[in-house]
Amino acid sequence: MKLVDATAALAPAAVPAAATVLDVVDWRRRTAALYAAVREQAAQDPAAAHARWVAGRDALLASHPASPVLPDDRAGFTGVPVAPYDPAFRFVVALEPGAPQHRDVATGTDGVVPFERIGTVRLGDLGTLDVWALRTYGGGVFLPLLDATCGLPDPADAPGTAAYGGGRYVLDTIKGADLGGAPDALVVDLNFAYNPSCAYDPAWACPLPGEGNTLAAPVPVGERAPAAHA
């Protein structure tokens, strides 16, 4: 599995300015608040929660100072293409045991970040995905996804349907992207698969899904590729 910057941190810099650091703190705070509202609403109405998530993500990407959308692109930013909600791609699944794997990932700003595979989740006929733990201060669960729609050109009759070629993230709990679950299960709703920061700005380094996080089947829901990367 090829992992790059496990925290999708800001592009390497000598010493980040205090304002930049606080912008990132606020981004994560707002992201966590958005997902908290989504989790509560999704218990009764997942489709409405998804619409709330789409609107919240677009607002952050369009105007927040820590947005990965390049400043020159924000004026024309009208939102990320997102497929309509499909309940068939929502799963509440147990974490199944898997052979341990360990990765030490060199990052631009956080030194070497350790990842460990803690198990797998089985998503019906789609197959299984590895679930990773970030073994550093704060911890977190990380679930990336690469599927058969990633990196394909858009069909002429269906623009905006291809997904970003580098893959997408479903869960990244250290940054607040947490869809909930129970002590013995996770909510894995692929409708909430979202583009990593490197989909908007190549200066960001992002973890890439490896073999254990690749599905041969298409996942036609969630965020699609930004226009410049379709």
Q: What confidence tier does 184 reach under pLDDT thresholds 50, 70, 90?
A: confident
Sheet containing 90-94, strands listed edge to edge, beginning at the edge strand earlier in sequence: 90-94, 185-189, 181-182
Give exposure, 5-32, as e/b (b: 16+ Cβ within 10 Å): bbbbbbeeeeebeeeeeebbeebeebbe
Give the C-alpha separation, 173 to 140, whole Å.
5
- When mean pLDDT is compared across 52-61, 108-117, 215-224, the lowest value belongs to 108-117
Give the C-alpha separation, 152 to 108, whole Å.
29
pLDDT for residue 106: 64
Give the C-alpha separation, 148 to 25, whole Å.
34
Give the C-alpha separation, 28 to 156, whole Å.
37
- Reported as type and span, the H/E element at residue 74 is helix 71-74
Structural contact between residues 11 and 203, judged by C-beta atoms closer than 8 angstroms: yes
98 or 30, which is more confident?
Answer: 30
